[in-house]
């Protein structure tokens, strides 16, 4: 079915999963305002929020099997959108499930916290659906504002307040860059619609106009902040450390995935015509990010901070896929997001499960000898660390994620050999800190007088086991996911392959 987006009914149908999520979130918002604040109310809203997210997930799956498409308009209806939506929704469900226990334990009784996760997810879905710079901006802001609030939701924690304020100020700053970039791109091309922009860049030969160049540079800076790519990553460690752990997981996995998905679409669908000029900028961004993230992570002794820096490193790895700019690399990109989401979520779920009120247990030393007291947890954490490292077999999907990115980089029409070498080198560096955690858990003795770890309840155990299971199972049989990511990018309006001179095919779709 092909939607005519100028008709309101078709537009509503094209946006039906997003609208359902927002309507559900607003109903829950009312409910959370009516009830009395407390642990029980918080849990009820959380369970209902999971139900809304799960129902949206089913809608997205249903939509993706219908073969919908859309005519020109401000939203895209394609497989890439549905695939990315699935990744965000899975991330949101796991984050809310983690928050249920975490918020009860830390006495965060604001039931709105769960609803804000839903609203942030709605913003992400709008981002990846948008085919217009204005819609993209609104999606980014909806997501960002919800996440600023979530960072500071624990009002008794001064670290959370510091993180939230820092995130808010730097986020507002990056928004200014982003908006300025949009304004200049509009000034240069006279359009905000991706398709029109890409058509005009090619037809009117706007590649070298200063206004477009400055606009694209500012847009790149704005995206760099949101993706936490070096040198725009400065906020990430403090914010990740200060935020409540489930929210850190949500930021490191879903928020970053959303920024990437939107980035990929803008870069390939709107700015395909200037891709060749910007290839170098993305190349350097990727190279610097890989080095900085992985090297600085080596020095961290706080697990949340370490994962924050390592997630900066992952930004660099994913940017390798963007720099390759082929259909194959877009598929590798989606596969990476899936593997990375489960690994990050699982690792943070372990951190949440081992903490107790007043003793967050976030230092790596707290994990010494975990194998002797909690063998299951230690094995799961090892799987997540190895998955992020990209270790074969035991790292499951993580290995294939890096493998596909490497393959895409080397098989691109302009092979990214140096980036691929750098990817392998920095991965070797990252072994230094990922394996250190594994070594601490299995080989170091449990320190004398270490306090008792709290019992883990069924829900946390289920999240951790399911994440580890998915990583391992699809690590042995990666084909279904790989096939799914390939159908996901079939419909992306991809720019032509990165070739020195290309012409009309940029506007094929």
Partner 1 sequence: MPNFFYQFNFYLFGLIAIASALLFVTRKSPVAAALWLVNVMFALAALYVMLDAHFVGVVQIIVYAGAIMVVFLFVVMLLNLGDPKEISDVSGKWGRLAAGLVGLALIAQIMTLARSSAPPSLVQPPDRVADDLKALNALGTIAKPLFGEYLLAFEVTSLLLLVAIVGAVVLGRRRAAS
Rounded Cα distance between 331 and 340, Å, is 14
HEC states along 200-230? HHHHCCCCCCHHHHHHHHHHHHHHHHHHCCC
Longest dimension (CA), the chain: 72
Shortest Å distance, C-beta 373 to partner 1: 31
Number of residues that bind partner 1 (CB under 8 A): 50
Phi and psi (nearest 5°) for 353?
-65, -30
Among 78, 101, 132, 362, binds partner 1 (CB under 8 A): 132
Q: Is the Cβ of residue 112 or residue 241 nearer to partner 1 in the bound state? A: 112
Q: Is 38 in the site for partner 1 (CB under 8 A)?
A: yes
The C-alpha atoms of residue 364 and residue 298 are separated, in whole angstroms, by 12
CA–CA dist 464, 381 (Å, integer) = 9
| Residue 234 near partner 1 by CB under 8 A | no
Residue 251 sits in the site that holds partner 1 (CB under 8 A): no
Exactly one of 50, 74, 255, 498 binds partner 1 (CB under 8 A); that residue is 74
Is residue 385 part of the contact set for partner 1 (CB under 8 A)?
no
Which span sits near partner 1 by CB under 8 A: 135-143, 340-348, 384-392, 495-503?
135-143
Given candidates 57, 90, 145, 422, which one binds partner 1 under the rule CB under 8 A? 145
Considering only 47, 51, 62, 155, the residue that binds partner 1 (CB under 8 A) is 155
- Positions of E strands within 342-449: none
For residues 65 and 324, what is the distance between their CA atoms, to the nearest angstrom? 29
CB 484, CB 83: distance < 8 Å: yes
| Of 7, 49, 5, 9, residue with least CA distance to 27 | 49
Q: How far apart are CA 401 and CA 272, in angstroms?
A: 25
Out of 204, 393, 421, 439, which residue is the one contacting partner 1 (CB under 8 A)? 204
Sequence-ordered list of residues with C-beta below 8 angstroms from that of 292, at least 6 positions apart, any chain: 230, 231, 233, 312, 313
What the block records as the tokens of 327 is 């259909």
CB neighbourhood size of 175 (10 A): 18
Choose which of 54, 55, 61, 138 interacts with partner 1 (CB under 8 A).
Answer: 138
308 near partner 1 (CB under 8 A): no
Give the range of 58-66, 139-147, 252-260, 297-305 binding partner 1 by CB under 8 A: 139-147
Q: Which is nearer to partner 1, 37 or 499 (CB)?
A: 37
* Site track 162-191 with partner 1 (rule: CB under 8 A), x = hit: ----------------------x--xxxx-
Shortest gap between Cβ of 210 and partner 1 (angstroms)? Answer: 5
**CB contact at 8 A, 132 and 74:** yes
Location of structure tokens 């997003």: 18
* Minimum CB distance to partner 1 smaller for 67 or for 187: 187
Instruction: Identify the residue among 2, 4, 30, 37 touching partner 1 (CB under 8 A).
Output: 37
Residues 179, 180, 185: CA angle, nearest 5 degrees: 95
User: In this chain, which stretch among 147-155, 410-418, 441-449, 469-477 interacts with partner 1, using CB under 8 A?
Assistant: 147-155
Contact 280, 364 (CB under 8 A): no
* Among the listed residues 29, 170, 291, 473, the single contact to partner 1 using CB under 8 A: 29
**Residue 148 contacts partner 1 per CB under 8 A:** yes
Site track for partner 1 across 255-294, x = CB under 8 A: ----------------------------------------
Q: Which residues of 14-33 are buried (b: 16+ CB within 10 A; e: fewer)?
A: bbbbbbbbbebbeebbeebe
Is there binding between residue 75 and partner 1 (CB under 8 A)? yes
Judged by CB under 8 A, does residue 209 bind partner 1? Answer: yes
For the chain, the residue count is: 509
Task: Report the site for partner 1 in 98-127 (rule: CB under 8 A).
Answer: 107, 109-110, 112-113, 115-116, 119, 122-123, 126
C-alpha 286, offset from chain centre: 16
> Which positions lie near partner 1, rule CB under 8 A?
6, 8, 11, 15, 22, 26, 29, 36-38, 74-75, 107, 109-110, 112-113, 115-116, 119, 122-123, 126, 132, 134-135, 138-139, 141-142, 145-146, 148-149, 152-153, 155, 184, 187-190, 200, 204-206, 209-211, 214
């Amino acid at each position: 079915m092909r939607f005519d987006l100028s008709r309101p009914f078709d537009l509503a149908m094209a946006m039906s999963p997003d609208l359902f999520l927002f309507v559900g979130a607003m109903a829950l918002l009312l409910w959370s305002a009516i009830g009395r604040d407390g642990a029980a109310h918080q849990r009820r809203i959380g369970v209902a929020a999971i139900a809304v997210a799960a129902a949206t997930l089913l809608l997205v799956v249903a939509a993706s099997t219908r073969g919908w498409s859309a005519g020109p308009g401000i939203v895209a209806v394609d497989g890439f959108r549905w695939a990315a939506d699935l990744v965000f929704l899975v991330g949101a469900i796991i984050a809310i499930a983690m928050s249920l226990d975490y918020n009860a334990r830390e006495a965060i009784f604001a039931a709105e916290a769960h609803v804000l996760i839903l609203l942030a997810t709605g913003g992400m879905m709008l981002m990846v659906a948008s085919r217009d710079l204005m819609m993209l901006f609104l999606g980014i802001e909806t997501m960002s504002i919800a996440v600023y609030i979530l960072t500071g939701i624990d009002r008794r924690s001064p670290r959370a307040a510091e993180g939230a304020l820092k995130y808010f100020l730097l986020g507002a700053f990056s928004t200014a860059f982003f908006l300025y970039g949009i304004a200049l791109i509009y000034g240069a091309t006279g359009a905000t619609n991706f398709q029109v922009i890409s058509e005009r860049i090619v037809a009117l030969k706007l590649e070298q106009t200063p206004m477009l160049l400055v606009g694209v540079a500012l847009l790149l800076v704005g995206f760099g902040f949101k993706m936490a790519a070096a040198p725009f990553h400065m906020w990430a460690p403090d914010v990740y450390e200060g935020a409540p752990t489930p929210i850190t997981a949500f930021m490191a996995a879903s928020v970053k995935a959303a920024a990437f998905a939107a980035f990929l679409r803008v870069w390939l669908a709107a700015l395909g015509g200037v891709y060749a000029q910007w290839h170098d900028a993305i190349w350097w961004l990727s190279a610097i990010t890989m080095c900085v993230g992985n090297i600085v992570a080596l020095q961290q002794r706080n697990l949340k901070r370490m994962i924050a820096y390592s997630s900066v490193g992952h930004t660099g790895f994913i940017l390798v896929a963007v720099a390759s700019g082929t259909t194959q690399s877009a598929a590798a990109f989606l596969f990476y997001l899936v593997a990375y989401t489960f690994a990050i979520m699982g690792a943070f779920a372990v951190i949440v499960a081992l903490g107790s009120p007043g003793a967050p247990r976030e230092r790596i030393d707290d994990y010494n000898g975990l194998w002797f007291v909690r063998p299951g947890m230690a094995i799961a954490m090892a799987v997540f660390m190895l998955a992020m490292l990209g270790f074969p077999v035991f790292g499951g999907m993580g290995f294939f994620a890096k493998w596909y990115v490497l393959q895409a980089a080397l098989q691109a029409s302009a092979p990214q050999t140096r980036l691929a070498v750098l990817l392998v080198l920095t991965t070797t560096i990252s072994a230094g800190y990922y394996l250190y955690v594994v070594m601490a858990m299995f080989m170091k003795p449990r320190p004398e007088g270490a306090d008792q770890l709290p019992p883990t309840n069924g829900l946390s155990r289920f999240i951790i086991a399911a994440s580890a299971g998915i990583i391992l199972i699809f690590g042995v049989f990666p084909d279904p996911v790989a096939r799914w990511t390939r159908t996901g990018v079939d419909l992306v309006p991809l720019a032509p392959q990165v070739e020195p001179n290309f012409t009309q095919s940029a506007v094929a779709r």
